[in-house]
């Protein structure tokens, strides 16, 4: 970065507007990874926005459905889920499902949204997670799986947008004319990661998470109720929280939390405590 006091220098905005922005590749990714945390924060009066990177047109076993039809159905499912969870806003970027790449266009679109909503925290996929697989020597009965390329692309697009594009006044200068000033994201929460350091107690909203997922009719077999399934999964995460951090939680969501910016007042408070 150059001289912040130079004539004409534009300062980064550091005051957030929204509490959180969750950026997922497909409609339903944010639901699986962060819905209970999103609902909990929304319940606490915090503003949450979800962003879906792709149009979701590869999320079906039926080749004959028209792309636009499937896209609109899935967007409607996502809107309904957000309503159940109390998520205030949802944005659809409509990049082609299954073919998302870390392009100039994608980084700019994400930069625009982060500057628009100014989230204190951004949640996204951990882009470094390529393969999830147990050691076959230890658990010969289990299979692994490959992380969806759109998930990895989304993680990379979002990280590249947060740094340097969102905070740099010289990047995508045309956004300044839209009133979108350079902004500093305070924290990043990566989901579906093997480097978990943060567990959130979501016992209060775990049922809403299942109900939100139930809105995604096109994604599950008829008659499947996600509420029980989600409880089971979240209980396993809570068990992990007990083993790793000694936390007593019934249902949890897990993240890798990364601090990118600490406001001055918070730093001062922290040093006062130490003294
Ligand atoms: Zn996905």
Closest CA to 41 of 21, 17, 15, 19: 19
Measured in Å, residue 148 CA sits from the centre of ligand 1 at 7
CB pairs under 8 A, 24+ apart, for 102-106? 102/153, 102/156, 102/157, 102/160, 106/53, 106/153, 106/157
Measured in Å, residue 151 CA sits from the centre of ligand 1 at 6
pLDDT tens digits, 176-185: 999 999 999 9
Measured in Å, residue 240 CA sits from the centre of ligand 1 at 24
Measured in Å, residue 196 CA sits from the centre of ligand 1 at 19
Measured in Å, residue 4 CA sits from the centre of ligand 1 at 40
Measured in Å, residue 24 CA sits from the centre of ligand 1 at 7
**pLDDT score at 1:** 63
Measured in Å, residue 209 CA sits from the centre of ligand 1 at 16
Q: Which residues pair with 89 in a beta bridge?
A: 49
Measured in Å, residue 243 CA sits from the centre of ligand 1 at 28
Measured in Å, residue 113 CA sits from the centre of ligand 1 at 20
Measured in Å, residue 130 CA sits from the centre of ligand 1 at 13
- Report whether 257 contacts 187 (CB < 8 A): yes
Measured in Å, residue 230 CA sits from the centre of ligand 1 at 17
Measured in Å, residue 100 CA sits from the centre of ligand 1 at 11
**pLDDT score at 275:** 66
Tell the burial category of 62 from Cβ atoms under 10 Å away from its Cβ (0-12, 13-18, 19+): exposed
Measured in Å, residue 238 CA sits from the centre of ligand 1 at 23
Give the pair of three-digit tokens for residue 83: 């309503």
Measured in Å, residue 25 CA sits from the centre of ligand 1 at 5
Query: Is the CATH number 3.40.50.10320 carried by domain 20-131+146-274?
Result: yes
Measured in Å, residue 123 CA sits from the centre of ligand 1 at 14
Q: Based on C-alpha coordinates, what's the Rg of the chain?
A: 20
Q: Kindly give the parts of the chain with pLDDT less than 50.
A: none
- Non-local (6+) Cβ contacts of 86 within 8 A are 38, 39, 42, 43, 48, 208
Can you give the pTM of this predicted structure? 0.96
Measured in Å, residue 37 CA sits from the centre of ligand 1 at 18
**pLDDT score at 136:** 94
- DSSP three-state, residue 174: helix
pLDDT tens digits, 5-22: 888 899 999 999 999 999
What residues does each domain of the chain span?
20-131+146-274
**pLDDT score at 2:** 76
Tell the burial category of 118 from Cβ atoms under 10 Å away from its Cβ (0-12, 13-18, 19+): buried
Measured in Å, residue 266 CA sits from the centre of ligand 1 at 35
Measured in Å, residue 32 CA sits from the centre of ligand 1 at 9
Residue 75 and residue 79: Cα distance in Å, rounded? Answer: 6
Give the pair of three-digit tokens for residue 163: 């740094």
């Amino acid at each position: 970065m150059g001289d912040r006091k130079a004539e004409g220098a534009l300062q980064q905005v550091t005051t957030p507007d929204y509490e959180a922005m969750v950026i997922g590749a497909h409609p339903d990714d944010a639901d699986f990874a962060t819905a209970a945390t999103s609902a909990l924060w929304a319940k606490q009066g915090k503003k949450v926005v979800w962003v879906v990177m792709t149009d979701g047109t590869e999320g079906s076993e039926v080749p004959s459905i028209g792309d636009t039809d499937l896209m609109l159905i899935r967007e409607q499912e996502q809107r309904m889920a957000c309503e159940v969870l109390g998520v205030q806003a949802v944005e659809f970027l409509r990049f082609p499902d299954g073919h998302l790449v870390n392009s100039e266009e994608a980084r700019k679109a994400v930069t625009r949204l982060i500057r628009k909503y100014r989230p204190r925290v951004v949640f996204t996929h951990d882009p470094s997670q390529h393969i999830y697989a147990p050691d076959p020597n230890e658990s010969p009965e289990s299979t692994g799986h490959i992380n969806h390329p759109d998930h990895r692309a989304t993680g990379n697009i979002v990280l590249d947008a947060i740094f340097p594009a969102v905070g740099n006044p010289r990047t995508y200068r045309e956004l300044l004319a839209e009133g979108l000033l350079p902004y500093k994201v305070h924290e990043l929460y990566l989901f579906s990661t093997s480097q978990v350091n943060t567990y959130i107690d979501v016992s209060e909203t775990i049922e809403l998470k299942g109900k939100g997922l139930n809105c995604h009719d096109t994604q599950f077999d008829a008659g499947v109720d996600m509420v029980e399934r989600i409880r089971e999964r979240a209980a396993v995460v809570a068990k992990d929280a007990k083993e790793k951090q000694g936390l007593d939680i019934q249902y949890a969501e897990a993240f890798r939390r990364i601090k990118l910016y600490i406001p001055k007042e918070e730093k001062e408070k922290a040093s006062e405590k130490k003294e």
